[in-house]
């Protein structure tokens, strides 16, 4: 008879919900927590057990995953009065949020005092990849802990990328990926705005960039949706602005100069201050258009 593993998942938002769904069944008894009853409902309908706090999940599950919106929430969920640290069953905590090297180390140190191991496991790919099960899983931590959780990560995503044996290393890799993408997106938006103002056809610009030396995932797969009129990639502009600020903070701690990234972050921050924080992050194109008095849309949108 196959034994059933008790697994916990904290945070059922745009990223957490589709990841947690991939753990339903699969010889797992899934224990979930989210402050939103609406987020919990479909999991309860699917057979998961809802709990009233992170601590309650950690009292029931030996391995607990977390995908949370920011550093403060991650700290409270990990080490707060109702946090995972007080759980009686948990032995391994998998932090999938992007919270920076210092925060993952702080949470890890607090958990270690209670004999709980931590695996640093941020993900890359966005909500669409989470739904499709094609996320890239960045992982760092004690080899024995990483080995224990890897089969579960392989259910959630497409590939697990080991980044090292110290929690925090995966955070740095995720931040590097994020700032490169975000800077790339700003550069793409600004270049397209210049071309549009000169009278170039948006569809032809995208075709050329995709075929030429300016090609990038940010332009070809993300910005292309905005040019086609679909501002729906799945993450809020405020999240990208936060990631850029986090990247620059990490760079300062390591005495790494990033002037180009800093200038790109200025654009994201200006868009946020202009009231676009709650919009999809592809709305960076709309902000750049407004600043330059132009519009970048494909022929199908213009028709």
Sketch the domain layout of the chain as residue ranges.
Answer: 5-165, 172-302
Q: How confident is the model at residue 302 (pLDDT cuts 50, 70, 90)?
A: low
Taking the C-alpha atoms of residue 52 and residue 45, their distance in angstroms, rounded to an integer, is 17
Q: Tell me the per-residue pLDDT of 91-118, one tens digit each, with 9 for 90 and over.
A: 999 999 999 999 999 999 999 999 999 9
pTM of the model: 0.91
Tokens 């947690």, located at residue: 20
Listed in sequence order, the residues at least 6 apart from 170 whose beta carbon sits closer than 8 Å to its beta carbon are: 120, 121, 122, 138, 139, 140, 141, 163, 164
pLDDT above 90 as % of the chain: 94
Instruction: Please check whether residue 12 is in contact with residue 36, taking contact to mean a CB–CB distance below 8 angstroms.
Output: yes
Task: Give the residue among 124, 121, 56, 51 at the shortest CA–CA distance from 93.
Answer: 121
SS3 157: coil
Instruction: Please check whether residue 146 is in contact with residue 137, taking contact to mean a CB–CB distance below 8 angstroms.
Output: no
**Active-site option among 158, 174, 230, 242:** 174
Tokens 């022929």, located at residue: 299
Displacement of CA 22 from its chain's centroid (Å)? 17
SS3 63: strand
Res. 294: pLDDT tops 70: yes
Res. 120: pLDDT tops 80: yes
Instruction: Please check whether residue 46 is in contact with residue 21, taking contact to mean a CB–CB distance below 8 angstroms.
Output: yes
pLDDT value at residue 3: 77
Q: Where are the beta strands (DSSP E) in the chain?
A: 5-10, 28-33, 49-50, 63-66, 92-95, 117-120, 123-124, 136-140, 159-164
Tell me what the mean pLDDT of segment 174-189 comes to. 97
Does domain 172-302 bear CATH number 1.10.3720.10? no
Tell me what the mean pLDDT of segment 134-161 comes to. 96
pLDDT value at residue 151: 94
> What is the bridge-based pairing of β-strands 63-66 and 92-95?
parallel
pLDDT value at residue 177: 95
Between residues 27 and 84, which one has the greater pLDDT?
84
Q: Tell me the per-residue pLDDT of 227-281, one tens digit each, with 9 for 90 and over.
A: 999 999 988 999 999 999 999 999 999 999 999 999 999 999 999 999 999 999 9
Instruction: Please check whether residue 32 is in contact with residue 9, taking contact to mean a CB–CB distance below 8 angstroms.
Output: yes
- CATH of 5-165, picked from 1.10.730.10, 3.40.50.300, 1.10.3720.10, 3.40.50.720, is 3.40.50.720
pLDDT value at residue 1: 45
Sign of the C-alpha dihedral, residues 14, 233, 130, 235? negative
Active site residue 221: no
Displacement of CA 155 from its chain's centroid (Å)? 17
């Amino acid at each position: 008879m196959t034994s059933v593993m008790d697994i916990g998942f904290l945070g059922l938002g745009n990223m957490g919900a589709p990841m947690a769904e991939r753990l339903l069944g699969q010889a797992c008894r899934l224990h979930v927590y989210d402050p939103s009853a609406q987020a919990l409902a479909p999991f309860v309908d699917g057979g998961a057990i809802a709990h009233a706090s992170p601590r309650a999940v950690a009292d029931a599950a030996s391995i607990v995953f977390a995908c949370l919106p920011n550093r403060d929430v991650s700290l409270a969920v990990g080490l707060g009065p109702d946090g995972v640290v007080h759980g009686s069953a948990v032995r391994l905590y998998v932090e999938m949020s992007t919270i920076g090297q210092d925060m993952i180390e702080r949470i890890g140190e607090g958990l270690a005092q209670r004999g709980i191991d931590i695996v640093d496991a941020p993900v890359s790919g966005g909500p669409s990849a989470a739904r499709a099960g094609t996320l890239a899983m960045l992982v760092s931590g004690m080899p024995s802990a990483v080995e224990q959780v890897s089969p579960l990560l392989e259910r959630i995503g497409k590939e697990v990328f080991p980044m090292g044996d110290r929690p925090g290393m995966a955070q740095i890799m995720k931040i590097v990926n994020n700032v490169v993408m975000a800077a790339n997106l700003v550069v793409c938006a600004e270049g397209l705005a210049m071309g549009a103002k000169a009278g170039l056809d948006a569809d032809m610009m995208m075709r050329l960039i995709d075929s030429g030396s300016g090609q990038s995932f940010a332009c070809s797969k993300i910005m292309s949706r905005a040019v086609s009129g679909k501002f729906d990639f799945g993450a809020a502009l405020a999240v990208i602005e936060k990631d850029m600020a986090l990247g620059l903070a990490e760079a300062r701690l390591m005495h790494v100069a990033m002037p180009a990234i800093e200038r790109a972050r200025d654009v994201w921050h200006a868009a946020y201050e202009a009231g676009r924080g709650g919009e999809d992050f592809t709305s960076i194109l709309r902000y750049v258009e407004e600043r330059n008095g132009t519009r970048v849309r494909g022929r199908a949108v213009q028709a």
